[in-house]
Structure 1
Amino acid sequence: MPLFWRKQEKVELPKRLTPLALKQAIAADPDGIRLLDCAFVPQPRPANYKYGRFDPDPNSESLKVFCNGHIEGAVHFDLALATCPTDSGQFDHYPKAIFERYAQMLGLDGNHQLVLYGRGLFWAFYASRVYWLFISYGHKGGISLLDGGLDEWVGKCRPLTKDLNAQEAASARSKKGNWRAMTEPSAKTVTFQQLVGGANAVDISRCKLLDARTQTEFEGNECAFEPLLTASHRAGAVNLCAMNFINAEGQFKSSAEIRALVQNSGLVIPADGKKLITFGNTGIQAAFLATMLDIEYGVQDVYLYIGSAYKGRNQQVGGGGFEVESRHRLAETFHDFKQTPMWVHLVQFAAAVAVANNDPRGMNFIREMEEYVADRNPYHSVDVVGRRPVLPEIPLQPPSNGARSSGTGYAGNTLSSGGWQDDEIFH
């Protein structure tokens, strides 16, 4: 797609951007383009985390990845700093006045053309989550995704630069931008409270629900983050797996392929005047799906559901029109899902990726982590490679919240059917 120059040599870029087109655009308008490196490694927020504070965490794995190599001129956009954990989800949006300060700290102006990129297998997921942040806040300049992410840039023999030295870092922080949010994020997002009839309730009858997870999760055969749970889907939802929009080389599929996927799902765009609400496990997959619909169709009525598909799984939403269809099982020693440390979930997720890619290094790492987990806390020992729980020989204790068992049995290291029927587990 050709590039178009506005007055004052302002570059207007397509939303899907190739490395060559990016190189040309930077040469044509270096001051008008801002590169945002969306490197993100899931990890618990630091102990000194404070709401609305954007001091970089020196122990951030995401920052370390950025410093190890990034496109020259890029700044690191840290999703963990730019969002906040709330009842709605891990990556909820700040009020616009707070997010403005973070964007300005990165040196962004309102008329900047933003080019976002990620890296690795999930490059498009995290970059898309940032994309939707700026969509939600009404960024007036253009927003583009670097097709294929950093790997594609490197593959085209484009150079990388290493971490900033102290002087350059200080200089970058001093260049405060004038970026302003035009809207509150609620303009392009939906919360669980809105779905259950809270403030600014959403009329479900006028919405189409799009599930961005894999087909196996949608059908209830597996759960991405927790092998002790089976997944579910919300009644009436259309399954449109976000991962299917990426080809084997890690790039966006062609426009014709994307439109075929949408058509085969049964989704009709425009959706007869209905709002399209995308959702997934934590909002990351959902953001990618919403972003792809925006890029490919330019539809205005796309909204991101902030939170997890498992929240309130047994509740009736929207006057009974949004009943959750679900199946789950849970070992009694895992009676409170929130007691399981975050690193256990991360190890399980890494295991799924390693198994899917037949990566021996990843498998070795997972086995080492299993031993580490068992040494540190046998109550959370998990056979993540086999995706089966390893239950320690300990006396059973009732759930702290008083929930009753529903058929769950314990016999040595095995798990029989059934589980705790407590919605709080899935929050």
Structure 2
Amino acid sequence: MAVSKLITPKDLNKILQGNTAGIRLLDCTYQVGVKPDPVEFRQKYYGKFEELIKIQSPQKKTFLQSHIPTARHFDLDLAMYPGLYQRFAVYEPEVFQQYAQLIGVHRDDQIILYSRGPFGGMLFAAKSYWLFKTYGHKELVLVNGGFDEWTKEGLETETLTEEPAYEKGTFLARDFRHRNVTFEELTEKDADGKDLLERAAEYNLLDSRIRAQFDNDQDTGLNAFVVPGSHLPNSANVPANEFIGSNGKLLPKAFLKAKLENAGFDPEKKTITLCNTGMQASLLNLVLDEVYPNSPLRLYNGSLKELEIRDPGRICGGIKPVGKP
């Protein structure tokens, strides 16, 4: 029987009251900001975590103000970097490893992740979950409902004036970046002259954005001057937000499975998930891991924002006639 990827705040609290050796609790609080200039970042800051961790940010301020006791801040702006085509590009394993060690993560730790904000407070924790999987770490759990659920339960929080220096961890990053599909893989032609996107029927090609964006009924976040439509042809819309219940927690597994089945998901097929920047798709990947842990699953980390730059004409599904709503 597969072990759940989720833990309740009450169960986490019980763990924290006991022996926490081998447990590393990471607060993945994040606020999406303007993408830094990728060339300047590469020259000044790439992999320089001792400098980056000293920079003040809204997410660090929020973390310091209130977080679950013993948690350490895991900042996506440090764990990933701005690439030429991707808002959140993936470091080489030996580089990411330095950041994980800097915040005291050990190679055999049971990593417990939580965040706050969108999608039941689980969006950024889910991105962090998939990132750690990209580096081969297996012992990963998310707090169902995130920090908001923790505070709803009336559990203790902690405040810091500054983030302390931690004893260096022993985290070992392995290269599992094949869990992310690249633009080059998606567009490479086979012997019949077709690329992967043209063979989408062979895959579960899942767009995890909200329905209104997929259907072109609201701002898609894409540049309408270069992108003709709102989604990839042959992709299925499986919105990640619809797996979060009205109580702010991930729906029970039976409901998750039913929603996937209703969306036409085939667990026997290989799956590729996407959104705009790989964030919502990571939450969908968490759902898929929870329900079908053995189903082959990959994330298009660059997602539609990368295609917007490199091949915008491919985003041609959902085109609406001029003058019609």
Q: Is the 8 A contact 1:232 1:310 kept in 2?
A: no
Contact 1:88 1:191 in 2 (8 A): no
| Residue of structure 2 in register with 1:396 after alignment | none
User: Please, which runs of 5 or more residues in structure 1 have no aligned partner?
Assistant: 2-11, 330-415, 419-427
SS of the residue 1:80 aligns to: helix
CA separation of 1:86 and 1:315: change in aligned 2, threshold 3 A: closer
2:87 counterpart SS class: strand
Contact 1:233 1:326 in 2 (8 A): yes
Q: TM-score, normalised by structure 1?
A: 0.65
- Listed one character per residue, the Cα deviations across residues 98-149 of structure 1 (whole Å, up to 9, x for unaligned) are 0000000010111100110011234211110000001111014x10000010
Is 1:29 matched with 2:40? no
Shift of 1:233: 1.4
Letter in 1 for 2:150: W
The superposition leaves residues 315-365 of structure 1 with CA deviations (integer Å, 9 ceiling, x where unpaired) of 889xxxx95424679xxxxxxxxxxxxxxxxxxxxxxxxxxxxxxxxxxxx
Please state if 1:144 is matched with 2:144: no
Structure 2: stretches of 5+ with no match in the other structure: none
- Quote the residue 1:295 is aligned against: 290
- The TM-score, its normalising length taken from structure 2, stands at 0.85
When residues 88 and 202 of structure 1 are mapped into structure 2, their CA distance, relative to the original with a 3 A threshold, is farther
Q: How does 1:82-97 map to 2 (within 5 A)?
A: 82-97=79-94
| Distance in 1 of aligned mates of 2:195 and 2:66 | 43
Matches within 5 A, 1:142-291: 142-165=139-162, 169-170=164-165, 172=166, 175-185=167-177, 187-197=178-188, 203=196, 205=199, 206-225=202-221, 232-271=230-269, 275-291=270-286
CA distance in 1, matches of 2:302, 2:186: 12
- 8 Å CA contact retained: 1:293, 1:299: no
Conserved in 1, the CA contact under 8 Å of 2:35 and 2:87? no
Counterpart code for 2:292: Y
Q: How well do the aligned residues superpose, as a CA RMSD in angstroms?
A: 3.0
Letter in 2 for 1:251: K
Instruction: For residue 314 of structure 1, report the CA deviation from its aligned partner.
Output: 10
Residue 282 of structure 1, CA deviation:
1.0
Q: How many angstroms does 1:214 deviate by? A: 1.4
1:116 paired with 2:99, answer: no
Q: 1:293 to 1:113 in 2, by over 3 A?
A: same
Report the Cα distance in structure 2 between the residues aligned to 1:328 and 1:312, rounded to whole angstroms: 16
Aligned-residue offset at 1:25? 2.2
2:12 is the counterpart of 1:17: no
Deviation at 1:33, TM superposition (A): 0.9
Cα distance in 1 for residues equivalent to 2:293 and 2:72: 27
Give the direction of change, closer, same or farther, for the CA distance of 1:212–1:165 in structure 2 (3 Å limit): closer
* Alignment coverage as a number of residue pairs: 306
The structural deviation recorded for 1:26 is 2.6
For residue 241 of structure 1, report the CA deviation from its aligned partner.
0.4
Question: In 1, distance between residues paired with 2:249 and 2:206?
Answer: 22
Instruction: Please give the alpha-carbon distance, in whole angstroms, between the structure 1 residues aligned to 2:170 and 2:266.
Output: 40
Query: How far has the Cα of 1:297 moved from its partner?
Result: 1.6
Q: Report SS of the residue matched to 1:44.
A: coil
* Identity in percent: 32
Q: How does 1:368-383 map to 2 (within 5 A)?
A: none
Instruction: Find the residue that maps to 1:253 and give its secondary structure.
Output: coil
For 1:106, the equivalent position in structure 2 comes to 103
* Bigger Rg, structure 1 or 2: 1
Letter in 1 for 2:125: A
- Separation in 2 of the partners of 1:183 and 1:311? 22
> What corresponds to 2:300 in structure 1?
305
Q: How far off is 1:262 after superposition?
A: 0.3
Q: Secondary structure at the match of 1:63?
A: helix
- Structure 1 residues 100 and 314, CA, compared in 2 at 3 Å: closer, same or farther? closer
